[in-house]
Amino acid sequence: MSLTHRSLLVKIFLWFWATVLITAAASVITFWVRAHSSPYQWHASVIETTRISGETAIQTYEQSGPVAAARYMVQLEHRNLQNPCLFDQSHNVLAGRNCDALADMLPNLTEPGVPDFGVRFGVARVALKLRGASGREYVFAAEVPAGVPPGRPRGPRMTRLGYALQWAVALIVSGSICYLLTRYLTAPIFRLREAAHQLASGDLSARANSRISPRHDELGDLVRDFDTMAARIEDLVSRQRQLISDVSHELRSPLGRLNVALDLARQRKGDDPAFDQAEQDTALLNEMIGRLLTIAKLDVSARDVPMVQVDLSELLHQIVCNANFESHPNENRVTLTVESEVFVLGNPELLHSAIENVVRNAIHYTEPGTQVEIVLQHDAAHSSARIQIRDHGPGLPEAELTNIFRPFYRVAAARDRQSGGTGLGLAISDRVIRTHGGTIIARNAVPKGLLIEILLPEQAVGTPVPHL
């Protein structure tokens, strides 16, 4: 199956994969960002360290003066606190070097004890408002190198190849898992579709379950329901077929007896026009049963019609010969023009009866002294055979043109009854042509008359087909 036919598989697969990849990327990014922010515990300990250092600095400042405080600051710098600074309430520097770099944090401080924390150029910066033993307020600020949590040395840096490998493995693993999951979900759907397709094309024994290991989820239920439905349809259709064949037998048996009885009666009582009428009617009944059966068969089992290569010009020639022989042996009422030889794939008997029905209809309606014209052409645009059958009769009202292909449809009852037609001829033609994948349409000819056009798909050149 081509990719386009599997768009559901592709869609589900891509969505799954995208979801997995996006989730993975999101968690990677989160960890990365958190590594660059401060893990909570480290954050707290930095603040605590700063607070204790700050309180000690204030104590030193209040008890021993600015010089001692400055010395303490230098000590702090050796203990991992960079650039410690002590400010008074109005943000004047009391101790520390290079305190301007921290001055921007000071306005953010409001309450004593509430720290301001920030990360700048990979360095954590903390500022705290603290109260000294004298009751004066001070501000202590310091910087702590971030990203290197104490005691955790950074591992060796990964090479580019390493990253590529990592990503490739991630892609392959996630991709194959997603593919398997998708297959698991969509496989029954494809099987169902395949089975439904087979069923629709007439293979009533098609089942979906036989090819799927039993599943107990909703998809499994769906498959089982489908199979139940298919079995039911198969049963109904086979009963329908049986009915058709029974009807054929049962209706025809009395008809057969009637025929023999009529013939006996004729022998005993001599010729009587009543016998002729009765014989005609039994023949008509038989014809109608036959045609109804043809229609029913075409509707039920069009797929089973055996198809061979059919030479349309030969077929038409035969029909024209028969028609001319039967209608008026002395005048040719039907003419045939073969513009090009066309072969189609079809059932010769069905095609013969389909076209013959149209021709008989045309002969019936064409005005005395006029001819029915049949033209066989090759329609390159549709790669089809085009058969046109035109009479010179009264034609039809536009609204009736499509109705004439319906069973038992009669345009004008009075006009049609006398023909002795079954009312099924064109309905059969329509079904036969459609069974062959063709079209049949009726339209009015100019100046008058009916034109019936049959298009039949041409047989592809080189298709190996047995010739009968």
Partner 1 sequence: MNRVLIVDDDVQLCRLLSERLATEGFTIEAVHDGVRGLERALSAEHALVILDLMLPGVGGLDVLKRLRMKSPVPVLILTARGEDVDRILGLEIGADDYVPKPFNPRELVARIRAILRRTAHSSSTSSPLTAGDLRLDPHSREASLSGVLLKLTSIEFTLLESLMRQAGQIVSREQLTESVLGRKLGPFDRVIDVHVSNIRKKLGASEHSQRIKSIRGSGYLFAMRAES
Tell me the DSSP string of 6-68: GHHHHHHHHHHHHHHHHHHHHHHHHHHHHHHS--HHHHHHHHHHHHHHHHHHHHHHHHHHHHH
The secondary element (H helix, E strand) that includes residue 442 is: strand 439-444
CB of 316 closer than 8 Å to CB of 359: no
Residue 330 amino acid letter: N
Residue pair 376/313 in contact (Cβ under 8 Å)? The answer is yes
How many residues contact partner 1, by CB under 8 A?
A: 28
Rank residues 83 and 435 by Cβ distance to partner 1 and give the closer one: 435
For the CB of residue 297, give the shortest distance to partner 1 in the complex, in Å. Answer: 7
Start-to-end Cα distance in the chain: 35
Which of 252, 382, 434, 443 binds partner 1 (CB under 8 A)? It is 252
By beta-carbon proximity to partner 1, the closer residue of 113 and 329 is 329
Residue among 356 and 453 whose Cβ is closer to partner 1: 356
Count of other CB atoms within 10 angstroms of residue 47: 18
Site residues (CB under 8 A) for partner 1, limited to 258-277: 258-261, 263-264, 267
C-beta of 339: minimal distance to partner 1 in Å? 20
Residue whose CB is less far from partner 1, 68 or 278:
278
CB atoms within 10 A of CB 57: 28
> Considering only CA atoms, which of 254, 346, 261, 337 is closest in space to residue 305?
346
Tokens of 221: 């239920």
- Residue 322 within binding range of partner 1, rule CB under 8 A: yes
- The reply on whether position 241 binds partner 1 by CB under 8 A is no
Q: Within positions 347 to 366, which residues make up the interface with partner 1, using CB under 8 A?
A: 348-349, 352
In the bound complex, what is the minimum distance in angstroms from residue 356's beta carbon to partner 1? Answer: 9
Token pair belonging to 378: 């090759």
The verdict on 313 binding partner 1 (CB under 8 A) reads no
Tell me the three state secondary structure of residue 144. Answer: strand
**CA 102 – CA 108 distance, rounded (Å):** 11
Q: Which of 37, 89, 166, 253 binds partner 1 (CB under 8 A)?
A: 253
Which single residue is written with the structure tokens 């098609």? 206
101 binds partner 1 (CB under 8 A): no
Nearer to partner 1, 319 or 456 (CB): 319
Binding range to partner 1, per CB under 8 A, among 9-17, 30-38, 256-264, 452-460: 256-264
**Which parts of this chain interact with partner 1 (CB under 8 A)?**
248-249, 252-253, 255-261, 263-264, 267, 279, 282, 286, 290, 293-294, 297, 314, 318, 322, 348-349, 352, 468
